[in-house]
Amino acid sequence: MSRTAPSPPAARTRPTLWVEVVLTLALITLATILLNAGVFWLLSARGELERHTELTLATARAIRAQLEAPVTDREKAWRRALLGFRRGRIAISALWVTDRDGRPVLEVVGEAPAEPDIGLRAALYGREEHVRMAGSRLSGRIVEVTEPLMIGGAVSGAVRVAMPWEGVGPARSGLGYVLLYTLFSGTVISVFGYALLRRRLVAPIQRIRAGTARIAAGEFGYTVELDAARELEELTRALNVLSGSLAEYRQQTAEQVESLERANQELRQVQEELIRSEKLASVGRLAAGIAHEVGNPLAAVLGYTELLAEGVGDGALERDLLLRTRREVERIHRIIRELLDYARPGTGAAEPVALPALLEEAVHTVRPQPGFREVEVVVEAEVGLPRVRAEADKLHQVFVNLLLNAADAVAGPGRITLDARAEDDEVVVRCRDSGPGFNDADLPKVFEPFFTTKEPGQGTGLGLATCQRIIEGMGGWIRASNHPEGGAVLTLGLPAEQA
């Protein structure tokens, strides 16, 4: 089952440089507005708290001054003074007086604590003015001032004044004006900054980008002229150097391609000459082989016929000479027939062939031969071996020839193994014998026509050459080698039939 290759992930869409600049300036402006507003609010809050504290202190000191004034009816005068301050425009959240022991004497607003707190102890025992911030944002914050009452040079009590503080709001602090001013100034600065960045940064980068696109499109040698910051000018110079280098490289490549084409043309001419020379050499070797193989039996036939023509006067000798002549003529006929088999092209009637059955058939064919009486022939075929597309008769001839050559090499008790395996897209057959193997000097020549290591008259030297021609005609290959453990190995490969 075929699998579709996963498509590469889509590239993320990134914002343009203009958008990045605008967003950056907007974020800087917003951060500036918020920081300025926060700092102004903190400063306003601190100033307002100081002013509110001063107001509370001034009120407490004024009340203390009135309470310390000599009067005949102190309680009545104190009440009248405190009520006067209560009715004023100042908001008061606590206003009461205690004696020297901290017990409440007069409570106009709020109640004195049952036990003296830190402010009362500071005023009664330390004769000090005490100021503190009390409360919280949820319950309400107040500025609390405790003053000692000094009558006759001695502490006679204490007065507590507390005024609520609501903090600083936008309306009171002028925060809205600050925000408006900061927004306006930030916008002006952002617009100016954007215009400046666009001129000094965005526009040069766009020109560099356009130049890079032209160079990427193949316009090598194109240069970008730029008047910008030093870094951008250095980048432009590097881009121009790269463009020039690419132009030089393309010119060199074109010259090299032209040189390679000329070299290839010369190589093709030399190759054609070598092929013609090799063909002539092959024809010469073939002719020499034919002359040698046919010349010997032909000379014998001529000698026998001369004897018969002279008349030997012996009937038995004449019959023997005729039989010898017939054998030599049959030898010449066999040589010519094998030579025709070697030169004859295939019929092209290829069909799917099961190699295990064909190997068994080849073994069955050669089994009656005398050379196989003491030879063990083993066929080892892989289970599920694919078929090959070939001409069955010619492939049968190849296997028979390989077996006969192997039996001649063993020459006595031995073993021949036919091993068939599937390797990649091929079916490989190895024919190994237990003979002495090939000489290293003979290996390059074993497939040449008329090359043989057998005794004269034992073989024509066309067997392996014919096998090579048949196998290569089927789109395969054949090689000869020696096994590391001894013996010769002839290996052939054929394309496997596609299911």
Amino acid sitting at position 319? R
pLDDT at 290 over 90: no
Instruction: Identify the three-state secondary structure at position 444.
Output: helix
pLDDT at 342 over 60: no
Mean pLDDT of 281-289: 52
**Distance (Å, whole) CA 326 – CA 336:** 15
Lowest mean pLDDT among 272-281, 294-303, 436-445: 272-281
Query: What is the DSSP-derived secondary structure letter of residue 198?
Result: I
Find the radius of gyration of the CA atoms of the chain: 60
State the DSSP string of 380-391: EE-TTPPPEEE-
Query: Could you tell me how far CA 468 lies from the centroid of its own chain?
Result: 46
Band of residue 454 on the pLDDT scale cut at 50, 70, 90: low
**Distance (Å, whole) CA 16 – CA 206:** 10
Buried b (16+ CB within 10 A) or exposed e, 337-369: ebbebbeeeeeeebeebebbebbbebbeebeee
Residue whose structure tokens are 């094998």? 338
Mean pLDDT of 204-215: 83
Query: What is the DSSP-derived secondary structure letter of residue 218?
Result: T
Lowest mean pLDDT among 17-21, 41-45, 227-231, 327-331: 17-21
pLDDT at 338: 58
**Distance (Å, whole) CA 420 – CA 387:** 11
- The predicted-structure confidence for 304-339, as pLDDT tens digits, reads as follows 787 777 776 777 777 777 887 887 787 777 667 655
| Upper half-sphere CA count for residue 132 (Cβ side, 13 Å) | 13
pLDDT at 334: 67
Non-local (6+) Cβ contacts of 298 within 8 A are 328, 332
Report all structural domains of the chain as residue ranges with CATH numbers, in order of start.
17-173 (3.30.450.20), 252-344 (1.10.287.130), 347-495 (3.30.565.10)
Read off the pTM. 0.38
**Distance (Å, whole) CA 87 – CA 57:** 18
Lowest mean pLDDT among 77-81, 165-169, 415-419: 165-169
pLDDT at 494 over 90: yes
Angle at 479 between CA 354 and CA 392, to 5 degrees: 25
